Protein backbone atom coordinates (compact mmCIF):
# COMPACT_ATOMS: atom_id res chain seq x y z
CA UNK A 1 0.00 0.00 0.00
CA UNK A 2 1.01 3.59 -0.60
CA UNK A 3 -0.09 6.53 1.50
CA UNK A 4 -0.98 9.56 -0.60
CA UNK A 5 -1.53 12.96 1.00
CA UNK A 6 -3.24 15.41 -1.34
CA UNK A 7 -2.55 19.02 -0.45
CA UNK A 8 -4.42 21.96 -1.90
CA UNK A 9 -2.08 24.69 -3.15
CA UNK A 10 -1.76 27.97 -1.24
CA UNK A 11 -3.90 31.02 -1.86
CA UNK A 12 -3.71 33.12 -5.02
CA UNK A 13 -5.14 36.56 -5.72
CA UNK A 14 -7.89 34.86 -7.74
CA UNK A 15 -8.78 32.65 -4.75
CA UNK A 16 -9.01 35.78 -2.64
CA UNK A 17 -11.29 37.45 -5.20
CA UNK A 18 -13.35 34.22 -5.56
CA UNK A 19 -12.50 34.05 -9.27
CA UNK A 20 -12.48 30.66 -11.05
CA UNK A 21 -8.90 29.80 -12.02
CA UNK A 22 -9.20 26.42 -13.67
CA UNK A 23 -6.20 25.99 -15.96
CA UNK A 24 -5.27 29.70 -15.84
CA UNK A 25 -1.73 29.78 -14.44
CA UNK A 26 -1.99 32.14 -11.45
CA UNK A 27 0.93 32.35 -8.95
CA UNK A 28 0.66 32.22 -5.17
CA UNK A 29 0.28 35.45 -3.26
CA UNK A 30 2.10 36.02 0.03
CA UNK A 31 -0.74 34.47 2.02
CA UNK A 32 -0.45 31.43 -0.27
CA UNK A 33 3.24 31.10 0.49
CA UNK A 34 2.37 31.19 4.19
CA UNK A 35 -0.32 28.52 3.57
CA UNK A 36 2.41 26.34 2.04
CA UNK A 37 4.78 26.95 4.97
CA UNK A 38 2.02 26.04 7.48
CA UNK A 39 1.22 22.89 5.51
CA UNK A 40 4.90 21.94 5.54
CA UNK A 41 5.12 22.45 9.31
CA UNK A 42 2.06 20.27 9.83
CA UNK A 43 3.50 17.55 7.57
CA UNK A 44 6.95 17.67 9.22
CA UNK A 45 5.69 15.58 12.15
CA UNK A 46 5.57 12.45 9.96
CA UNK A 47 7.81 10.78 7.39
CA UNK A 48 7.31 11.31 3.67
CA UNK A 49 9.38 10.04 0.77
CA UNK A 50 8.50 12.07 -2.31
CA UNK A 51 6.56 15.08 -3.55
CA UNK A 52 4.59 15.27 -6.80
CA UNK A 53 2.79 18.29 -8.18
CA UNK A 54 0.37 19.60 -10.75
CA UNK A 55 2.10 21.55 -13.55
CA UNK A 56 0.31 24.79 -12.64
CA UNK A 57 2.49 27.46 -11.02
CA UNK A 58 0.45 27.79 -7.80
CA UNK A 59 0.80 24.06 -7.12
CA UNK A 60 4.46 23.88 -8.18
CA UNK A 61 5.43 26.75 -5.87
CA UNK A 62 3.50 25.17 -2.98
CA UNK A 63 5.26 21.85 -3.65
CA UNK A 64 8.67 23.50 -3.73
CA UNK A 65 8.08 25.25 -0.39
CA UNK A 66 6.91 21.99 1.22
CA UNK A 67 9.72 19.91 -0.31
CA UNK A 68 12.35 22.42 0.80
CA UNK A 69 11.09 22.40 4.40
CA UNK A 70 10.93 18.58 4.51
CA UNK A 71 14.28 18.01 2.79
CA UNK A 72 12.66 16.25 -0.17
CA UNK A 73 12.78 16.74 -3.89
CA UNK A 74 9.81 17.41 -6.14
CA UNK A 75 9.92 14.03 -7.81
CA UNK A 76 7.48 14.60 -10.62
CA UNK A 77 5.12 17.01 -12.38
CA UNK A 78 1.88 15.20 -13.22
CA UNK A 79 -0.36 16.86 -15.85
CA UNK A 80 -3.45 14.84 -14.89
CA UNK A 81 -3.66 16.34 -11.40
CA UNK A 82 -4.04 19.87 -12.82
CA UNK A 83 -7.19 21.80 -11.95
CA UNK A 84 -10.49 21.24 -13.69
CA UNK A 85 -10.87 22.95 -17.06
CA UNK A 86 -13.76 25.39 -16.67
CA UNK A 87 -14.08 26.37 -20.35
CA UNK A 88 -16.26 29.46 -20.80
CA UNK A 89 -16.59 29.71 -17.00
CA UNK A 90 -12.89 30.25 -16.45
CA UNK A 91 -12.05 33.67 -15.04
CA UNK A 92 -15.59 34.37 -13.85
CA UNK A 93 -16.33 35.32 -10.26
CA UNK A 94 -17.94 32.39 -8.45
CA UNK A 95 -21.26 34.23 -8.01
CA UNK A 96 -21.33 35.06 -11.74
CA UNK A 97 -20.56 31.43 -12.64
CA UNK A 98 -23.39 30.18 -10.40
CA UNK A 99 -25.88 32.76 -11.69
CA UNK A 100 -24.94 31.95 -15.30
CA UNK A 101 -24.69 28.14 -15.16
CA UNK A 102 -26.68 27.18 -12.05
CA UNK A 103 -24.24 24.91 -10.19
CA UNK A 104 -20.87 23.11 -10.35
CA UNK A 105 -22.40 20.13 -12.17
CA UNK A 106 -23.76 22.19 -15.08
CA UNK A 107 -22.57 21.56 -18.62
CA UNK A 108 -20.39 24.53 -19.51
CA UNK A 109 -18.99 24.95 -23.03
CA UNK A 110 -15.37 23.76 -23.08
CA UNK A 111 -15.42 22.58 -19.45
CA UNK A 112 -14.64 19.19 -17.98
CA UNK A 113 -17.23 17.46 -15.82
CA UNK A 114 -16.39 16.63 -12.21
CA UNK A 115 -16.56 12.96 -13.21
CA UNK A 116 -13.93 13.48 -15.94
CA UNK A 117 -11.67 15.28 -13.47
CA UNK A 118 -12.08 12.47 -10.95
CA UNK A 119 -11.31 9.77 -13.51
CA UNK A 120 -8.10 11.39 -14.78
CA UNK A 121 -6.91 12.35 -11.28
CA UNK A 122 -7.53 8.88 -9.82
CA UNK A 123 -5.70 7.24 -12.73
CA UNK A 124 -2.77 9.62 -12.11
CA UNK A 125 -2.77 8.86 -8.36
CA UNK A 126 -2.65 5.11 -9.08
CA UNK A 127 0.29 5.71 -11.43
CA UNK A 128 2.09 7.69 -8.71
CA UNK A 129 1.41 4.89 -6.19
CA UNK A 130 2.70 2.22 -8.61
CA UNK A 131 5.89 4.21 -9.14
CA UNK A 132 6.33 4.64 -5.37
CA UNK A 133 5.84 0.90 -4.78
CA UNK A 134 8.42 0.04 -7.46
CA UNK A 135 10.95 2.37 -5.83
CA UNK A 136 10.40 1.20 -2.26
CA UNK A 137 9.08 -2.36 -2.40
CA UNK A 138 8.07 -4.02 -0.21
CA UNK A 139 7.42 -1.33 2.43
CA UNK A 140 4.73 1.33 2.09
CA UNK A 141 5.71 4.72 0.76
CA UNK A 142 4.28 8.05 1.89
CA UNK A 143 3.88 10.46 -1.00
CA UNK A 144 2.75 14.11 -0.99
CA UNK A 145 0.76 15.31 -4.01
CA UNK A 146 0.11 19.04 -4.41
CA UNK A 147 -3.06 19.56 -6.39
CA UNK A 148 -6.16 21.76 -6.57
CA UNK A 149 -9.48 22.13 -4.80
CA UNK A 150 -11.53 20.85 -7.75
CA UNK A 151 -9.28 17.82 -8.20
CA UNK A 152 -9.26 16.90 -4.50
CA UNK A 153 -13.03 17.43 -4.30
CA UNK A 154 -13.58 15.15 -7.32
CA UNK A 155 -11.35 12.41 -5.84
CA UNK A 156 -13.05 12.58 -2.43
CA UNK A 157 -16.47 12.53 -4.11
CA UNK A 158 -15.52 9.42 -6.10
CA UNK A 159 -13.98 7.39 -3.27
CA UNK A 160 -16.78 8.29 -0.81
CA UNK A 161 -19.52 7.27 -3.24
CA UNK A 162 -20.73 10.86 -3.46
CA UNK A 163 -21.18 11.42 0.30
CA UNK A 164 -18.16 13.73 0.77
CA UNK A 165 -17.28 16.50 0.74
CA UNK A 166 -20.55 17.77 2.16
CA UNK A 167 -22.49 20.44 0.26
CA UNK A 168 -21.01 23.86 0.94
CA UNK A 169 -17.85 22.42 2.53
CA UNK A 170 -14.80 24.42 1.47
CA UNK A 171 -11.45 22.72 0.93
CA UNK A 172 -9.14 25.37 2.30
CA UNK A 173 -5.86 26.39 0.73
CA UNK A 174 -3.11 24.33 2.35
CA UNK A 175 -5.50 21.61 3.56
CA UNK A 176 -4.34 17.98 3.52
CA UNK A 177 -6.34 14.85 2.73
CA UNK A 178 -4.83 11.39 3.31
CA UNK A 179 -5.61 8.37 1.18
CA UNK A 180 -4.30 4.84 0.97
CA UNK A 181 -3.78 3.30 -2.47
CA UNK A 182 -3.28 -0.30 -3.53
CA UNK A 183 -3.79 -1.84 -6.98
CA UNK A 184 -7.38 -1.05 -7.97
CA UNK A 185 -8.14 0.52 -4.58
CA UNK A 186 -8.16 4.09 -3.24
CA UNK A 187 -9.62 4.99 0.15
CA UNK A 188 -9.88 8.26 2.07
CA UNK A 189 -8.23 7.91 5.48
CA UNK A 190 -8.69 11.40 6.84
CA UNK A 191 -9.25 15.02 6.05
CA UNK A 192 -7.08 17.26 8.17
CA UNK A 193 -7.33 20.89 7.15
CA UNK A 194 -4.21 22.85 7.98
CA UNK A 195 -5.02 26.01 9.95
- pLDDT tens, residue by residue, 86-120: 999 999 999 999 999 999 889 999 999 999 999 99
The angle at the Cα of 65, spanning 62 to 71, to the nearest 5 degrees, equals 135
Catalytic residues: 9, 83
21: helix, coil or strand?
coil
Element (H, E) at 182: strand 176-182
pTM, rounded to two decimals: 0.94
Strand-pair partners of 48: none
6: helix, coil or strand?
strand
Predicted pLDDT at 140:
64
Predicted pLDDT at 45:
93
pLDDT of 137 above 80 = no
Q: Which of 146, 155, 176, 167 is nearest to 64 (CA)?
A: 146
Confidence band, pLDDT 50/70/90 cuts, at residue 194: very low
Answer whether 52's CB lies under 8 Å from 143's CB.
yes
Q: Tell me the pairing of strands 50-53 and 74-77.
A: parallel
Amino acid sequence: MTHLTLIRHGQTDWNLARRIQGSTDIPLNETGREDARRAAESLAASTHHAVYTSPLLRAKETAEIIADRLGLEVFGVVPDIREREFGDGEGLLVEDYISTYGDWHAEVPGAESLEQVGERAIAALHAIAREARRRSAPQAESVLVVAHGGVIRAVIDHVSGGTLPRDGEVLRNGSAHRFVAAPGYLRLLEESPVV
